[in-house]
Structure 1
Amino acid sequence: MAIHLTDSPSRQSILWQDTLLKVSQSVLQQRTVDDLLQVLQGASFSVVRFQRVHLLWFNPLHNQIRFYRYDPLTDKVTGSEEGALLSEGPGGASWTYATLQRRDRLHFLHDYPYLAQHPAYLGLSDYCLVPLVRTGADRVMGGLEFLKADGSLFDDSEIAFFQALASVVTCALENIITREQAQKEAESLRHERDHYRILVDVTNTVISKLELKALAQEVSREIHRFFGIDFIALALGDGENEDGPLTYYATHYPAGERPAGKTSYHKQGKVPLTETLAAQVMQNNAVVLSAPGDGTPGTPTRCTLAQRLDGGLAHACLLPLTFGTRVLGVLELAHRHELAVTEADIRLLRQIAARIAIALDNAVAYEQITRLKDSLIHENFYLTEQLTEHVRQHGDDAFGEIIGCSQAIRQVLEQVEMVAASDSTVLILGETGTGKELIARAIHRLSPRQGKRMVKMNCAAIPSGLLESDLFGHEKGAFTGASAQRQGRFELADNSTLFLDEVGDIPPELQPKLLRVLQEREIERLGGSKVISVDVRLIAATNRDLKQMVADREYRSDLYYRLNVFPIVIPPLRERPEDIPLLVKFFTRKIARRMNRTIDNIPSEVLRRLSRLPWPGNVRELENVVERAVILTRGTTLNLQLAELQQMPPSASDIQKPVAPPLDMPPRQPLQDDEVESERQKIIRVLRETNGIVAGPKGAAARMGVKRTTLLSRMQRMGISVKDIEEME
């Protein structure tokens, strides 16, 4: 029968009471199990003797017994999970029945032989286990084991002391458990708060970025700031091709760089998907941890992106960037040393990856919308430009706007019909204003590509510095002012026809690139590295003598031969005078209808005299003359001011040199010396009248009805300078 101190007040002494009080006070002040056990071990003295004390902590939630013992040799407390071993011992019985267990050596070895060789029970001579029962409840929370190893046995007073001390230890253990649980909950709340703070910061950072490069840099900065990771990369899959290469945006922080440091190295490029572990992550939509020596069965060449860029980044964590049911890419984190990633960290990183995926989907959509919008703007611009500059054809006739019945124009139209059905390159040659663009449009309308609009470009109207960008397009940031990606004319004309007017004005440095496109049918945008295949039928036009330019080394011969596959020479208006009356009637009817006028009479004398003029500006000049006449007409008869036209009689200077001899037509004779001299004197006279001004509405070029560049070229060829003008004065 157990004897309690309160049951034998006659045995109590001042020493016993004082000892119990001091030990109880010390026990209640301890905050950890280790400290508690060390205090209990120190309670062995003259009034109560034992050599060892153990603490058993029962955990019913996991059905485990936590075993703590003090080792006097190391002066340390060790703890271990030995539930399977101790549940069959006295601890298990005390847990079940909440009773005190007492055994001397013989009975202990007889009842628990499997504990005989346990280090904690070697050499015991007596054993006592006192259950620790929670106050106000019948549940046992643990037990105290007291062992003698000096050959003696516990007496009744010592057992009573242990029982009295057990209630105090129970209170202390409850306090320790409550404190540890509160600390764990506080720590968990701190982690949860920190995780939410990280998520909020990352979310606020990424949702404001709509460009992929800026998004990747902000993600890298935030993750490096929170986790101090050396390498952060976004590897994005090709949405159109599942096996296509990965586009990556990587940021590498030097070893030892503080999280708040600003030094970093940004890299961008492409890598084959099958050569990286990202393929496994995207396929399985699962996190992959990579460490040195890890191998992927069947694909020994697979590695992380970090290992490809820097072999020292051996430890990596790869997380899928999943939006809905689609895996858009991979978030890769790599470090030079082992990544201490816990399950909570993985959960946090997956939440971060989910928010990055949302921002990534927005960025990709924004990029696509921007590209489509830019393309639509340019397409609308080109379409509007064409509709504004030209009158829609009448009916389904491809030659609706080409007026004429002369043998020369019929020969041109026959050539158009022959070449239209093929995809051959056509070179249209002719003076300014002869209607080269009308011929190009007729070829397109008769071709198999008529279902798509023809894209046109005037090479002389665009500054040479912007010509390459306009032809081939450019990437964002390719040059100053390139704020967005832009498609070039070749891309816009894919599966259609591209008409390059004034092709003779393409600068020499751009001619090899145009030749490459014509040969390879591939382009590269300015500032980009992606090769884009295009299917374009090219029609070129010029009023210059390309053959002479090749001879003068102003034009590449190989480009000339590539363009001159099927030349079509448009005769000037002065060589087909029989077409002039038809043209005058057509322009009068068209312009009058546009101005809501009715003009149904054109004097035959007017038509006869117009047919005798040289028309250096060809059909364009004739149309302008007719338009002015329509404006001046007040009745139904065309009021053409013939007197003004007669003030400029035809001369050799009004007749431009033919670009190339027409097919089946004899070449024109070159100008004689006296004609050249007459042209020289006329240029000097006009320059004198305009005070040496060449360009502008009041300049010499406008007065002579030629282009500024044409006049300057003639002046240079004839050696005309300002000095000549002064001498004439």
Structure 2
Amino acid sequence: MPYTPMSDLGQQGLFDITRTLLQQPDLPALANCLTQMAKQGALADRVNILLYHPLHQRVSFFGTDKHGKEWHYEDEMVLANGPVRRVLSRPEALICTHEEFSDTWPQVLNLELYAPFGRYCLLPLAAEGKIFGGCEFIRNNDAEWTDKELNRLHTMAQVVALVAEQIQSRLDSNLGYQQLCRERDDFRILVAVTNAVLSKLDLDELISEIAREIHHYFSIDSISIVLRTNRKDRLNIYSTHFVEEQSPIHDHSDVALAGTLSERVFKSGEMLLLNLHHGDQLAPYERMLFEMWGNQIQTLCLLPLTFGNNMLGVLKLAQCEAGVFTPQNLKLLRQIAERIAIAVDNALAYQEINRLKENLVDENLYLTEQINNVASDFGEIIGRSDVMSNVLKQVEMVAKSDSTVLILGETGTGKELIARAIHNLSERNSRRMVKINCAAMPAGLLESDLFGHERGAFTGANTQRIGRFELADKSSLFLDEVGDMPLELQPKLLRVLQEQEFERLGSNKVQQVDVRLIAATNRNLKEMVLEREFRSDLYYRLNVFPIMLPPLRERPEDIPLLVKSFTFKIAHRMNRNIDSIPAETLRALSRMDWPGNVRELENVIERAVLLTRGNVLHLSLPEMDYCVPEEKPMQLVASEEVREGEDEAQRIMRVLKETNGVVAGPRGAAQRLGLKRTTLLSRMKRLGIDKEGI
């Protein structure tokens, strides 16, 4: 169709249009500006520019999407075989309706570049006698263009060809500089990501850092590292989903390999780039990805993580919005995947080294336990001395029965370990042993803790509480420091032992229980009974089967075994590598008196492990002076004999007068009477003697 370039536009009008279009920075902006001009002149509702690149046979689309946003899209197949192909072969106007367009080029409409329209016109863009693209004018309604309107469209297309060539030329002139800038920026990103990931040896920390860096530089929504597991045909997937920028979701899944996209990458060893659609057949993990983002179309990029000839896993990237996986970004992501593969290989090697190291430590501990020659039923109890062997025999004898056991011994000798061993060897070991320390709380709280209480039983009892005896039903109850139980609670404990029944505080309902009692104390209960500090009937009820634990100083042959066990256990807990203990250190420790017994020895070893640098336990013996007890002065034999006709109260009062009321100390009344200070005070209280009144 012949047309007049100037048409009915005046020279000034054409000049103004050309100047406005030349001011546009790029081709999407040019298409947007043309759309506004076409709307003002009622010529079209949308204008798009199509450029053809003959070398790659690619068509670039510049225009607006269905939401009115500027859009740039490139395509080597669909657009290149669309309407622009007709214009390249026949340089004349192409005009059609939506139905005709859909029938001829349905694949172009599937690209979703075109919102529904009524009438379509494509005019060629030419420069120096050669067509290099086309200009699309689209009307939403089905109104045909008049000859006058078509003349204006031809005029605008001629101007667009001139302006597009100028803009493209300007952009091409900056292409070299932009390419250098791009390569510089890519190099900086590559260095930053490499430094970040190669510094991490822990696998979890490494995966978190990979996700953080990739999201920071590429704004990708979901980042996953897929690794093979020790089980055949299973995968470990470590994912981070940036649904919310400030609170990413971390997920660890164990999934089947079959049917996943990762399986295709493992088989081919090549990158996979595709779009997920709602109707696709997807593995559960891919379906979960799809649903997490509201069933939006997902663009997935799967990159193999290959180090040497070994494919370690897959870097899986998912993105909702298009435009992230450009050729330039894909090239950079390939390079990043190569660095990530190195970091993953390092982390897996570090993980394997730690596993082997822990196995060695476990084997060492196991061998140490074998040396002890103690049955595994005795748990953490270590000792092969005669006295400890005798204790363990007693434990075996009494464990199968339901008899009450009283464990006696100094502080730190391991009374709770013995109690646990009795429970573990008993018929009640299917339920856990319940324990309570009688010295750890006041009488009121102790009673509530032992027997429970009803709501409103006392101030602050807002809810019903079950006591330790009910918790220990059909099991064992361990009463530690039973010698410190207040006198007023002892009758209630005696009743439970005799009748196996009690009432909660604030209740008159009798509770029946089946509890096996194991008690322990470091005090002399027999002496406390004589001094009326402990009920005799409760003492005899507890003292059914007493087990006396020897102090550490009476079993020095066990000290080397304990030192080795504590050293390896504490070093393992602190992530230290200590595999040797000097023989001189073991001999020196065996000669010490250990007033704090096994607990004191463990504390000393813990301090030594902390101070050790290297793999040989270092124990500074001068620092151990506090472990060696000072020589105790010889106890003075009671010098005060009972005078004729003098009862106990008169004797105590006389000695108090002679010592001016001083009870303790080397010149005090307790020393002269041959009694402990606490014993003397107890007797004074019982006899009603007030030293202040003497």
TM-score of the superposed pair, with normalisation by structure 2 = 0.38
Question: Looking at CA atoms only, which structure, 1 or 2, has the larger radius of gyration?
Answer: 1
TM-score of the superposed pair, with normalisation by structure 1 = 0.36
